[in-house]
Amino acid sequence: MNSITALLYGSDRPGIVARVAGWIHERGSNVLHADQHLDRQENVFFQRVEWECSLGSDPVEEGTAFQEMVQSELSMTVRIGYHNDRPKIGVMVSKADHCLHDLALRVRSGEWNAELTGVLSNHRDLEDISASYQLPFHYFNLTSENKKEEEAKQIQWIRDQKIELLVLARYMQILSKDFLVNVGCPVINIHHSFLPSFAGAKPYHQAYTRGVKLIGATAHYVTEDLDEGPIIGQDVNRVSHRHGPKDLIEKGRDLEKLVLSTAVRRHLQNRVLVYQNKTVVFD
C-alpha cells in the first residue's frame, strides 16, 4: 500500500477540510482516515489525514505536491510521513533495564516499522543486555567536568547514524541546552511520575513522603526546561498507605513501559502535533 499521512495545523478558516479532501480526490487517491480538532481559544485548526495513492503515482511526489498546496493555499504548517518509512531510533539508558527490554522486543517482533540502531549509556550495566538484542552499545563516562565533550561525542554518533528519534529509556542525566539544540531529532523521555507533580529526582520517594493514593508515569518531548516538555501520554496506578517506596517503584515500572511505548508508537505513526508546549494526539 502506497499511503501518505499528513499532519497540518494553522489558523482556522472555512473550507480547510473540503480543500484537503478535494485535492486528494482530484489526484485519484482515496482517503483512509481523517481526524481534526479546533482549538477555539487559539482559533487553530489541527488535522491528521491518511490517504492511499492512486495506482502508478509516486507517493513522494504526491506528498511534496500536497505540502506545497497546504503551505501556499492554506498558509498552514504541514508534516508528511509515508507508509514505508522506517525511522532509525537511538536509545539512551543508565542502569534501569525494563524500558530497554520493552522497546527492543517491540521492534524485534515487528510491532513498529522502525530500526533500533544502538544504545548510549553513562554506565556499563546494560551492555550485556544490549548485546543480547544485537544492539551496538556505546559507553560515555560522563562527569560534571567532561559533560560538554562527552555530549559532543554522543551527538556525533547520533548524526553519523542518521537517528530520527532519540528515546530516553530511564536515562538519568539532564541533557544540556547545547545537546538539545544540536541533536537534530525529536527526543522522547519517560518520567516516573504524573507530571507536573514530583518533577526531578526520586519521584517515587517524593510520592511516598507526600502519601499520594495515585502514582503515574509521563512520556514527553524533551526541552531545555527540565520535565516541562510537551506531554504525549500519561497513566496512573492506585496505591495505598501499605505501599512503601520499593512497592511504588515496582508498580511504576509497568506504567513506565506502557506509557513510553505508547508515546513512541504514536510518534512513529505520525499522530502527534506539538503546539505551544502542548500536544494534539490523534487516536
Alpha-carbon distance values, 278 to 38, 169, 170 (Å): 14, 21, 22
Q: What is the pTM of this model?
A: 0.91
pLDDT digits (tens, 9 = 90+) for 123-152: 999 999 999 999 999 999 999 899 999 999
Residue 114 has pLDDT above 90, yes or no: yes
> Does 141 share its domain with 268?
yes
Alpha-carbon distance values, 89 to 38, 114, 150, 164 (Å): 32, 7, 20, 6
Per-residue model confidence (pLDDT) at position 195: 66
Instruction: Please report, for the domain that includes residue 57, its CATH number.
Output: 3.30.70.260
User: Which of 48, 82, 116 is the C-terminal boundary of a domain?
Assistant: 82
225 in catalytic set: no
> Does 56 share its domain with 119?
no
pLDDT digits (tens, 9 = 90+) for 208-230: 787 877 778 899 999 998 889 99
Share of the chain above pLDDT 70, in %: 96
> Does 270 share its domain with 160?
yes
β-sheet bridge partners, residue 79: 7
Range of the domain at 205: 88-281
End-to-end CA distance of the chain: 21
Share of the chain above pLDDT 90, in %: 80
pLDDT digits (tens, 9 = 90+) for 245-257: 787 778 789 999 9
User: Which of 61, 82, 103 is the C-terminal boundary of a domain?
Assistant: 82
CB contact set of 245 (below 8 Å; sequence gap of 6+): 204, 205, 208
Contact 136, 104 (CB under 8 A): no
> Does 139 share its domain with 51?
no
Phi and psi at residue 45, in whole multiples of 5°?
A: -105, 135
- Say which of 97, 160, 178, 227 is annotated catalytic: 227
Per-residue model confidence (pLDDT) at position 243: 79
> Does 100 share its domain with 200?
yes
Instruction: Please report, for the domain that includes residue 153, its CATH number.
Output: 3.40.50.170
Per-residue model confidence (pLDDT) at position 219: 96
User: Which one, of 100, 163, 94, lies nearest residue 132 by Cα?
Assistant: 100
Question: Taking the CB of residue 263, how many other CB atoms lie within 10 A of it?
Answer: 27
Residue 70 has pLDDT above 70, yes or no: yes
> Does 128 share its domain with 62?
no
> Does 108 share its domain with 62?
no
User: Which of 30, 64, 82 is the C-terminal boundary of a domain?
Assistant: 82
SS3 108: helix
Q: What is the mean pLDDT of residues 50-66?
A: 95
> Does 78 share its domain with 92?
no
Per-residue model confidence (pLDDT) at position 160: 97
> Does 58 share its domain with 117?
no
Of 191 and 221, the structure prediction assigns the larger pLDDT to 221
* Cell output for 147: 559533560
User: Which one, of 81, 91, 92, lies nearest residue 115 by Cα?
Assistant: 91
Total domains in the fold of the chain: 2
pLDDT digits (tens, 9 = 90+) for 43-55: 999 999 999 999 9
Question: Taking the CB of residue 32, how many other CB atoms lie within 10 A of it?
Answer: 14
pLDDT class for 196, splitting at 50, 70, 90?
low
Per-residue model confidence (pLDDT) at position 177: 95
> Does 152 share its domain with 184?
yes
β-sheet bridge partners, residue 137: 119
> Does 157 share its domain with 191?
yes
* Cell output for 17: 477540510
> Does 96 share its domain with 228?
yes
